[in-house]
Amino acid sequence: MDIKIPMAGSIVKINVKKGDIIHKKDTIMVVESMKLEMPVDSPADGKITEIVVSEGDFVEENQVVAKLE
């Protein structure tokens, strides 16, 4: 499952790493745009199989930032 970012901005914090088991609604990372910080929460329970961004990266709306299995 692809985890997408809801708005363009910069990644200020990543809370998980590859292989982590996470639960639905756990905050995976935090994106900041125009002074607004927004948590990116997991849509389901599962295991993080890939993280495709780093802290400080700029991301576009709907860009895939991590993969969940």
Indicate whether 63 belongs to the interface with other proteins (CB under 8 A): no
Give the integer Cα–Cα distance in Å for 18 and 15.
11
For the chain, first and last CA: distance in Å? 6
Give the integer Cα–Cα distance in Å for 45 and 15.
15
Task: Pick from 1, 6, 21, 23 the residue near other proteins by CB under 8 A.
Answer: 6
Which listed range, 5-13, 16-24, 44-52, lies at the site for other proteins (CB under 8 A)? 5-13
Q: For residues 30 and 64, which CB has a smaller minimum distance to other proteins in the complex?
A: 30
Query: What residues line the site for other proteins (CB under 8 A)?
Result: 6-10, 12, 33-38, 58
